[in-house]
Amino acid sequence: MTRLRRGLSPATFRWFAYAAFLSMILIVLTGAAVRLTGSGLGCPDWPTCFHHRVAGSWSIHPLIEYANRMVTVTLVILTGVTFVASLLRTPRRRDLCVLSGMLIGGVIADAVLGAFVVYSKLNPWLVSTHMLLSLTMVVVSAILYHRSKYQYGPGTRADVRSTHYLTIARLLWLPFVAVLFTGTMTTGSGPHAGSSMGQLTARRLPFAFSDAAWVHSVAATLFVGIVLGLFVTVWKSAAPTALQNGVRRLVVITLLQAVIGGVQYVLHVPALLVGLHILGATSLTIGVTQFHLRQTAHDREVGIAASKTV
């Protein structure tokens, strides 16, 4: 109680931000597990599971779907605790409070959207939106965790490492968002609808899977080319070490994601590879966010040692 009266230190709040960051990654992966195991209609009601019962049967599909819902409930609690921690932090920072509040709003919106997904019997447009919103929360949580480690605000150091690369980092979001959007459209028209045998067959998006995959491959190829060009430019320049490390990570994740995407298409999109591709999309989202954040140098908060994380 004495510590609460004195407020939380920046080092302590950093762990709340880190927990929120990891939880946003977890909800993407558990959501993917629901879809790829055909458990999307394992609990046909919301917020209860089946006929006003909190939990369904002990069969695999209701268990997976209900576990994902419990993760969502945990996220709501965790983001709420993180927001309270941002208010108790000393000194209090408006940016951390706003970002923590955005996480609460995003998680609640994702949960409500999940309810519409269930009652629409896995409408593919809603499922795709569900995925994109979850990845957006990954971005917000990554920014929160990053800012929790550094000093931001009036009077603090904010040195732009390179105005040239800062512009590129901002523009990089355009092809990346195109990759994510076309990727969700491809998945939404593919074989993994989220339902399983014996359930109502979920609808797919109204265009051919092969056509969506072709559009996605064009967007992905453009993105890979931009990242490779960026890597060569940074490698041959006298760019700061932080920028070199950021683009090195980005190019490795991008190439791995491209390989997984190509192999899964050739092998007719097996669930395991699709899951790895979703994991890669999450990692790439973090990588693009991290590369953008690295464009500006800030002093670390007191008591927070240097690390290699976001």
**Which CA distances in Å does 28 have to 137, 157, 217?**
10, 34, 22
Per-residue pLDDT of the chain in tens (310 residues, 90 and over written 9): 445 556 789 999 999 999 999 999 998 988 888 877 776 666 766 666 766 665 555 567 777 777 777 888 888 899 999 999 999 999 899 999 999 999 999 998 988 888 888 778 778 888 889 899 999 999 999 999 999 999 998 888 888 888 888 888 899 999 999 999 999 888 877 776 555 544 445 677 788 888 888 999 999 999 999 999 988 888 777 777 777 788 888 999 999 999 998 898 888 888 888 889 999 999 999 999 999 998 888 888 877 766 554 4
Tell me the C-alpha distance between 4 and 108, whole Å. Answer: 27
pTM score, two decimals?
A: 0.88
DSSP secondary structure code for residue 241 in this structure:
H
**Which CA distances in Å does 58 have to 27, 66, 70, 237?**
22, 10, 15, 59
**Which CA distances in Å does 248 have to 213, 225, 235?**
27, 14, 9
**Which CA distances in Å does 260 have to 179, 214, 229, 264, 299?**
14, 15, 21, 6, 38
Question: Residue ranges of the domains in the chain?
Answer: 7-297
